[in-house]
Amino acid sequence: MINWNGSFIDIAVRGAIAARLGGMKRAQVSKLLEVAWSAKESELFEELSLYIARQISRREFDRDAARYLIMGLNELKKQNKLSREEVARFIGLFRWAYDSMEGIRLRVRREHIRNMTFDGFLKEIGLL
């Protein structure tokens, strides 16, 4: 099991904010989990990365959100923790953050997403 320090949660939150600002639909977020569970475990990073790249080209994924997703997956890969369960957990964090912004008018500007922390996210959605 990976040590889920703040960096993974921060990456998931940043990606979710970018997805919301970019108008990414919830169905696309759900599809990520489907792809993760159907991909061959030994090629999980590659299959998810190709799927994300395809969805960017179809304008289904926000490019900045995709970068954060790839960044999180790459961190798992670098730590040799790229299992289906850990990927699903990371995407699940992304999805929860994405869902929690439903109906909330975000004040954060795109250029400030990269500095967003989990606490900043909670402030942005009015919970802190």
Q: Residue 127: inside a domain, yes or no? A: no
Q: Residue 125: inside a domain, yes or no? A: no
Q: Residue 1: inside a domain, yes or no? A: no
Q: Residue 128: inside a domain, yes or no? A: no
Q: Residue 126: inside a domain, yes or no? A: no
Q: Is-above-0.85 flag for pTM? A: yes
Whole-number Å distance between alpha carbons of 58 and 52: 10
End-to-end CA gap in the chain = 29
Residues of the domain holding 48: 7-119
Can you read off the two tokens belonging to residue 11? Answer: 């990456």
If one counts the domains in the chain, the total is 1
Q: Residue 2: inside a domain, yes or no? A: no
**pLDDT tens readout for residues 16-55:** 999 999 999 999 999 999 999 999 989 999 999 999 999 9
